[in-house]
């Protein structure tokens, strides 16, 4: 393995990430000078690092590091591992696949395994000639391996600049179906042998999704191809230009699959393709900002599916699945903020949870609604254009959205991402001639009962208010940035009902005065209140009843 890099400060040591790997030899050759062989390899197993020691000082400048090593094709479902599957005749076989996110590229090859350290990758694989070999990029050469006629060497094109966790390679037995998106991108879905038919729905979704994201972000997909691969046992799937999925998240039997299975596949494909822009083109600076990668993709997958398949009514399912679950978990005393400071990479797996994904998606959805789609898209384009092929922090996105919208995005979002929990908004109404005066009070909501803490956490809450005049359109939108707020709804007659949180978009619960709640009953009975609003109202009431 070779690394072309620059020595910025003279040193006689090189420290790299390395796990479950034995280095045989290592040498460094400065540009235009003689090769220097490493004389010692000191493994720090607990930190998953190795220090290469050299007998002389490596001077500043460009050079090439060469390492020969022996690794392990493991059974841990991380790093470079073997995936077990059965053939149609019942024989057990294995594919060789990778899963590097968050910090397991170091199990496949020595490297600098941090998201902010990016490089281009030239990958070649020596594989049995009857197997399919895939990697991030397209194949540029396939030739017989000189030492063994049963093997071939497959060389792939140079990758764009990317982080190590995005590198992927797969060796196995696969069939595939293919199509081109309207932008000319070659899309392939690789399936187990004789199951190509089951990959057609995922192919349809991917071919529709790529143009949607290109138009939404106003940033083109940067390469001519993308592969989606169904793998029998797989833990996750975020790779640039080569997406790996569990079989159940990619394959659809056209004769026997139900609509919920199709929706699940559509959401998974939408999620992973979103990462091609948000996560891969622009990568988080450090794992502290992981929530933004996952929360954003978990929100926009629904936006994409709603665009491609409006008949799914997918946003009602979002409220039922992600939004409701996030509120249930975040109301517990043992919840945690969305954004968790990560010290050591080993902590990353601890924050891959429903708070990262579902609450993250819910607050991004609320943010999108607060900003408005047009300004949100402008802000996203600013962010992706400014930081493409680079790293960014959560604050960089807030800055871009703030610039596009003119609204205090960072101030608002910090109240949602840096503290756990969410508010309960108590509202009561008073009729004053032809106007309704609403008094709003916010307090932290707790599943165990009314909040009695000594501190007084507060959120900046975007609140939309609708009336029976038009249940689908906000009569007023406000930002509640204090514990109590009074607003006046002009020209709202006594017989008109008032409801907060149009579309169940705001990440808060609402407690209405008895009179306001009673006025909503006819709209629930005659179904004039939309399903997603009835669902939100039911969830809020049930959570308040559970206080006892």
Domain with residue 271: its CATH number is 1.10.390.10
* Domain boundaries, position 212: 174-420
Question: What is the maximal distance between C-alpha atoms in the chain?
Answer: 92
Q: Where are the beta strands (DSSP E) in 184-309?
A: 186-191, 225-231, 242-246, 282-284
259 and 222 housed in the same domain? yes
Query: Is omega for the bond preceding 102 within 30 degrees of 0, making it cis?
Result: yes
Report yes or no: 321 and 263 within 8 Å, Cβ to Cβ.
no
Within a domain: 255:
yes
344 and 209 housed in the same domain? yes
Within a domain: 137:
no
Q: Give residue for tokens 């959205």.
A: 401
Could you tell me the two tokens for 372? 């408005």
Report yes or no: 136 and 168 within 8 Å, Cβ to Cβ.
yes
Within a domain: 375:
yes
Within a domain: 160:
no
Report yes or no: 336 and 350 within 8 Å, Cβ to Cβ.
no
Which of 379, 400, 420 terminates a domain? The answer is: 420
Please list the active-site residues.
Answer: 272
Q: What is the DSSP letter of 407?
A: S
398 and 436 housed in the same domain? no
User: What total number of domains does the chain contain?
Assistant: 3
The confidence score (pLDDT) of residue 243 equals 54
396 and 437 housed in the same domain? no
The confidence score (pLDDT) of residue 548 equals 54
The confidence score (pLDDT) of residue 237 equals 45
The confidence score (pLDDT) of residue 394 equals 92
The confidence score (pLDDT) of residue 318 equals 95
Per residue, the 3-state secondary structure of 435-492, as one string, reads: EEEEEEEEEECCCCCCCCCCCCCCCCEEEEEEECCECCCCCEEEEECCCEEEEEECCC
261 and 341 housed in the same domain? yes
- Average pLDDT across each block of 10 residues of the chain; the chain has 548 residues. List them in order: 93 95 95 91 93 94 95 92 86 91 93 94 95 94 92 95 93 94 92 90 94 94 87 55 56 80 91 89 83 90 95 93 94 90 75 83 96 96 93 94 97 96 96 93 92 87 95 94 95 93 97 95 94 94 82
Instruction: List residues forming the annotated binding site.
Output: 271, 275, 294
Report yes or no: 3 and 99 within 8 Å, Cβ to Cβ.
no
- Angle CA 377–348–315, to nearest 5: 40
The CATH number for 464's domain is 2.60.40.1910
The confidence score (pLDDT) of residue 239 equals 44
Report yes or no: 73 and 81 within 8 Å, Cβ to Cβ.
yes
Count CB atoms within 10 A of the CB of residue 326.
26
Which of 374, 399, 420 terminates a domain? The answer is: 420
The confidence score (pLDDT) of residue 281 equals 86
354 and 460 housed in the same domain? no
Within a domain: 78:
no
The confidence score (pLDDT) of residue 247 equals 57
412 and 428 housed in the same domain? no
* 22-30 vs 175-180, strand pairing mode: unpaired
Per residue, the 3-state secondary structure of 343-379, as one string, reads: CCHHHHHHHCCHHHHHHHHHHHHHHHHHHCHHHHHHH
399 and 503 housed in the same domain? no
349 and 446 housed in the same domain? no
Which of 71, 90, 121 terminates a domain? The answer is: 71
Within a domain: 122:
no
CA distances from 502 to 244, 298, 530 (A): 37, 21, 9
Instruction: List residues forming the annotated binding site for Zn(2+).
Output: 271, 275, 294
Within a domain: 253:
yes
């Amino acid at each position: 393995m070779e690394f072309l890099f620059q020595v910025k400060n003279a040193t006689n040591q090189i420290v790299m990430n390395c796990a479950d790997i034995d280095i045989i030899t290592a040498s460094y050759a400065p540009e235009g000078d003689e090769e220097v062989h490493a004389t010692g390899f000191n493994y720090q197993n607990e930190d998953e690092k190795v220090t290469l020691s050299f007998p002389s000082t490596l001077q500043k400048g460009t050079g090439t590091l060469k390492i020969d090593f022996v690794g392990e094709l493991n059974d841990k479902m991380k790093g470079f591992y073997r995936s077990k599957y059965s053939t149609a005749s019942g024989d057990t076989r294995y594919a060789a696949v990778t899963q590097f996110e968050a910090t397991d590229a170091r199990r496949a090859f020595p490297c600098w395994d941090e998201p902010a350290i990016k490089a281009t990758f030239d990958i070649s694989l020596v594989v049995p000639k009857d197997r399919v070999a895939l990697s991030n990029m397209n194949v540029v050469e396939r030739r017989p391996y000189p030492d063994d006629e049963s093997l071939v060497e497959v060389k792939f094109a140079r990758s764009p600049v990317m982080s190590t966790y995005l590198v992927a390679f797969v060796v196995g037995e696969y069939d595939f179906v293919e199509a081109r998106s309207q932008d000319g991108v070659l899309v392939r879905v690789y399936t187990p042998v004789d199951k190509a038919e089951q990959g057609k729905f995922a192919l349809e979704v991917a071919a529709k999704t790529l143009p949607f994201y290109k138009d939404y972000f106003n940033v083109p997909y940067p390469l001519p191809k993308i592969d989606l691969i169904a793998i029998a046992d797989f833990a996750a799937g975020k790779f640039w230009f080569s997406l790996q999925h569990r079989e159940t998240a990619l394959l659809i039997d056209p004769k026997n699959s139900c609509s919920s299975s199709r929706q699940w596949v559509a959401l998974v494909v939408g999620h992973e393709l979103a990462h091609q822009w948000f996560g891969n083109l622009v990568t988080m600076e450090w794992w502290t900002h992981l929530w933004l990668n996952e929360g954003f993709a978990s929100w926009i997958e629904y936006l994409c599916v709603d665009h491609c398949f409006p008949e799914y009514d997918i946003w009602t399912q979002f409220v039922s699945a992600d939004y409701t679950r996030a509120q249930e978990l975040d109301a517990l005393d043992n919840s945690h903020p969305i954004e968790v400071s990560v010290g050591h990479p080993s902590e990353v797996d601890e924050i891959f949870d429903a708070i990262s994904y579902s609450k993250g998606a819910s607050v991004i959805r609320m943010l999108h609604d607060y900003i408005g789609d047009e300004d949100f898209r402008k802000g996203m384009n600013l962010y992706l254009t400014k930081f493409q092929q680079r790293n960014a922090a959560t604050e960089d996105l807030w800055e871009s959205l703030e610039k596009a919208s003119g609204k205090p995005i960072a101030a608002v979002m910090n109240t949602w991402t840096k503290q756990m929990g969410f508010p309960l908004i108590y509202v009561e109404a008073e009729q004053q001639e032809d106007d309704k005066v609403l008094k709003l009070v916010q307090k932290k909501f707790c599943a165990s009962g009314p909040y009695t803490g000594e501190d007084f956490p507060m959120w900046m809450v975007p609140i939309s208010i609708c009336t029976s005049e038009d249940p689908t359109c906000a009569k007023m939108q406000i930002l509640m940035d204090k514990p109590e707020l009074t607003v006046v709804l002009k020209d709202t007659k006594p017989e008109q009902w008032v409801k907060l949180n149009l579309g169940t978009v705001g990440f808060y619960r609402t407690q209405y005065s008895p009179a306001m709640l009673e006025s909503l009953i006819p709209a629930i009975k005659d179904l004039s209140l939309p399903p997603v609003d009835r669902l939100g109202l039911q969830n809020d009431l049930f959570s308040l009843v559970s206080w006892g």
